[in-house]
Amino acid sequence: MVWVQDGDSLLIKKGGKNIRVRLQGIDAPEKGQPFAEKAKYAAIKMAKNRNVQVVVKERDKFGRTVAKVILPDGRNMSYTMVEMGLAWRHIRYGKDPHLKILEAQARKKGVGLWADKKPTPPWVYKRKRKQSQGKQCKGCGER
- In the chain, the amino acid numbered 41 is Y
* Cα Rg, the chain, nearest whole Å: 15
| Residues in Cβ contact with 8 at an 8 Å cutoff, skipping those fewer than 6 apart | 22, 23, 26, 27, 28, 39, 43, 78, 81, 87
Residue 32 backbone zone (phi > 0: left; psi -120 to 50: alpha; other: beta): left
> Which residues partner with 22 through β-bridges?
9, 66
Q: Which of 20, 37, 64, 127 is catalytic?
A: 64
Q: Are 75 and 62 in contact (CB under 8 A)?
A: no
Catalytic residue among 30, 83, 103, 143: 30
54 and 76 in contact (C-beta within 8 Å)? no
| Residue 64 known to be catalytic | yes
Question: Active site includes 22?
Answer: yes
The residues annotated as belonging to the active site are 22, 30, 64
